[in-house]
Amino acid sequence: MMENKQYIDVLNKIGKILEDADDLLNKSKDLNELDIRFKVFAGKKGQLTEILRKIHSYAEEEKRIIGSKSNEIKKKIEEIYKNRRNELADIKQKKDINTCRVDLTIPGNYIEKPHKHPITAVLEDVVDFFSYMGFEVVSGPEIETAHYNFDALNIPADHPARDMWDTFYLLNGLIPRTHTSSVQARIMEEKSPPFRVIAPGRCYRYEAVDATHLFMFNQMEGLFVDKHVRLTDLKGILEEAVRYLLGAKKIRFRPAFYPFVEPGLDLDIRCIFCGGKGCSVCKDTGWIEVIPCGMVHPNVFKYAGIDPSEYRGFAFGMGFDRIVMLKYNINDLRLLYQGNLDVLNQF
């Protein structure tokens, strides 16, 4: 008698599951709510599944009827679920279409005007200035041979001057160029004098990264070769360059040694951070080195097949990362390469 009552109760419970499912599934407000309610009734851990798990406790005939009734109810619930899902999908699609409609009477959102990266902006200023001075823009490979990076610039294998550059060496014997002066050596082989060229590009050195040094930096080589080029031509052009680019008023040239020029010079400007009083940036000298330069060494001409008794020239190397630092009063080079828009938007 007890078993018969349990059997009747479970049949009534199956019928009640269908009523509840029909009511709640059709009242679901969105697809997420619909899926959750469907699982309550017909999911792997749903009410119908719980009934079927206990079906072994009934007589054979009762098992058959309970199983058949449960499968019938499950199909009806799945049909209700499918119909309601289609209804909600249609409602969502219409809502999305209405949301995407453009009201042309609404004022548009302001789009902030983009600006150039400081390095790009300064590079273009440098190129504009020297192009106005009659210089042609040229380029060369960033991965160089030791010949063009050193030998052709009067820096042979046993020359102590090679210790001035910390060089990366690749397994194939090539090197990421340590300076754009390698382009100078190539151009003198390719072109017949007279010519004026500038060669902007990236360079690489094995250096510890800090506020003023990076292992990759931007440099621009300049080269002017003609029959009557003088040191005063070099000084005049570079003085105008730093005045144009940095607004420098106090400028000086001092002797320096570079294997590929003779005589060699450094162009310094009065420190813009301390006004010449001395600070950590200028190392308490009051001056900041901006452009290493000098007259092309006769040996460099000989390597390129140019007669040094007939032609003369000058060369200079401008690190325009440093020009950016000076122009925008930046005390840490790393700020330029971090991609931080809060920083870059200030320039």
- Report the mean per-residue pLDDT for the chain: 86
Residue 97: what pLDDT?
A: 63
Give the three-class secondary structure for 194. coil
Mean pLDDT, residues 284-303? 92
Q: CA 20 to CA 150: how far, in whole Å?
A: 87
Write down the residue that tokens 């003609």 correspond to.
226
Q: CA 226 to CA 313: how far, in whole Å?
A: 6
Strands 287-296 and 312-318: antiparallel
Residue 132: what pLDDT?
A: 93
Residue 2: what pLDDT?
A: 41
Residue 134: what pLDDT?
A: 93
Q: CA 28 to CA 25: how far, in whole Å?
A: 5
157 Cβ contact partners less than 8 Å away, ≥ 6 residues apart: 146, 150, 151
Residue 194: what pLDDT?
A: 94
Q: CA 268 to CA 291: how far, in whole Å?
A: 7
Per-residue pLDDT reduced to its tens digit, 131-153: 999 999 999 999 999 999 999 99
Which has the closest alpha carbon to 118: 316, 271, 340? 340
Lowest mean pLDDT among 216-225, 280-289, 298-307: 280-289
Is 106's pLDDT higher than 80? no
Give the three-class secondary structure for 171. coil
Q: Which residues belong to the active site?
A: 165, 179, 205, 219, 261, 315
Residue 165: what pLDDT?
A: 62
Q: CA 345 to CA 331: how far, in whole Å?
A: 16
Q: CA 296 to CA 310: how far, in whole Å?
A: 13
Is 233's pLDDT higher than 50? yes
Strands 136-137 and 312-318: unpaired
pTM of the model: 0.65
Q: CA 143 to CA 163: how far, in whole Å?
A: 19
